Amino acid sequence: MQPEQVVTELPVTGWTGPFDPMSTRAAVAALEAGRVVMLPQLAFEVTEAERAVLSAGLLSGKRKNISLEPATGKIGGAADVPEPLAAFMGRFAAQAEILARGLLAPYSRPLRLGRTSFRPAEIAGRDYSPRKDDKRLHVDAFPTRPTHGDRILRLFSNVAPDGRAREWRVGEPFGDLASRYLKTLPAPAATRARLYAMLGLTKGVQSGYDQMMLALHDQMKLDETYQTTAPALPWSFPAGTTWMVFTDQVPHAALAGHFALEQTFYLPVSAMVSPETAPLRVLERLTGRVLA
Ligand code: SIN
Ligand code: FE
């Protein structure tokens, strides 16, 4: 795989714009084509007071990140939440939202804000079960939050105080991935989906799409052959850079790095410029079924 198949770099220098129509078009086209949009000149500024509290020691137990639900201000994953940390994450969420709604102009209204996370812990050398290990190539699918085909768009910023890069691998087009695993993906199981929702295991009822995406996530992570032989390109995100990607579409693995911020967004397929590139539409074409 070549770098231009995987990443598009844009010279964006500010979180609040104005953004020129050329950048907007390039960003949306790249994202929907399954590329990472990298903004090498866009850093998220960390204040002195914030630096002092941003230590990995904030993490409770084995949690790998601290999350903020912007709608409620609720924070999870930290032993206790010092005020500068809450402010830091809130400010990032606000700036990420302005950037996404501004730069990705066609998504401006339909985009929904999801969770914010702060990921201070070093990734390299940490051990997880294969299913939980994001050092393995995967596409994102949330076990407890069905999306019914809505896109998962994530914006990351590397704020490592020591300048350490975040090291990823970025994988093949979604159509290739889905075709590989198609025969092994489960048929929609509506009864199980209703049961899970009734038991409170999921927020709402999983669609056939959600069930397939969860299976795809697990199968690729558990597949040693895929992990070692699938097409993927290593990519470094230096400290002081920001990037965006549809993580439900693009196989990705985070191998090393620490101190990243991440904002999740959801986008209805109908809001896309090229909705036929959505994983939902790709899986529907391949299976010949309506999946959400
Ligand atoms: C992931 O989404 O799999 C992890 C990405 C990261 O934390 O860099
Ligand atoms: Fe992921």
| Integer CA distances (angstroms), 152 to 129, 183, 247, in order | 23, 24, 6
Name the pTM for this structure.
0.96
Query: How far is the C-alpha of 140 from the C-alpha of 147, rounded, in Å?
Result: 11
Strands (E), the chain: 7-9, 36-39, 66-69, 74-76, 112-119, 151-158, 166-171, 232-237, 242-246, 252-256, 260-267
Instruction: Say what percent of the chain tops pLDDT 70.
Output: 95
Ligand nearest to the CA of 142: 2
Nearest alpha carbon, ligand 1 atom 5: 254
Ligand 1 probe mutation, 252, 259, 265, most atoms within 8 A of CB = 252
From the CB of 247, is ligand 1 less than 6 Å away? yes
**154 pLDDT above the threshold of 90:** yes
CA–centroid distance, 253 to ligand 1, in Å, is 7
**Digit-coded pLDDT (tens) for 230-245:** 999 999 999 999 999 9
CATH number of 3-139+150-172+237-274: 2.60.120
Structure confidence at residue 78 (pLDDT): 64
**Residue 69: its pLDDT value, please?**
87
Please state the domain extents for the chain: 3-139+150-172+237-274
